[in-house]
Amino acid sequence: MDCIFCKIANGTIPVDFLYSDELVVAFNDIAPKAKTHILIVPRVHLSSASELKKEDSELLSRIFQVTNELAEKMGINESGYRIITNHGKDAGQSVDHLHFHLVGGNDLGDIVGK
């Protein structure tokens, strides 16, 4: 598979993980849209949220747990942040691998997490 997020998650492309476990990895976005812009990526390849099934409830729960932990670690849990996932080209999804953007640290205004 030629998915950049799969390669990052399995270590083929090295990045500095802010978080890593058996289900998800998290790392800074290379083109940040806010002071804090972290990607939370499942290790398993799912193209988008539309592929999530009932069996993925543990994965989805972990994603939000990790997001909350990272928001606290980055000091944005009190001031506010956004959790964004895009589905499809018209929504701005540029990598066909489910991922969530954690953005914050400044006034987000019209930032939408592309």
pLDDT at 91: 79
Architecture of domain 4-104: 2-Layer Sandwich (3.30)
DSSP notation for 45-80: --SSGGG--GGGHHHHHHHHHHHHHHHHHTT-TTT-
**Beta carbons of 102 and 83 less than 8 angstroms apart:** yes
pLDDT tens series, the chain, 114 aa: 689 999 999 999 999 999 999 999 999 999 998 999 999 999 999 999 999 999 999 999 999 999 999 999 999 999 999 999 988 887 788 889 999 999 999 888 765 544
* Domain range list for the chain: 4-104
Catalytic residues: 99
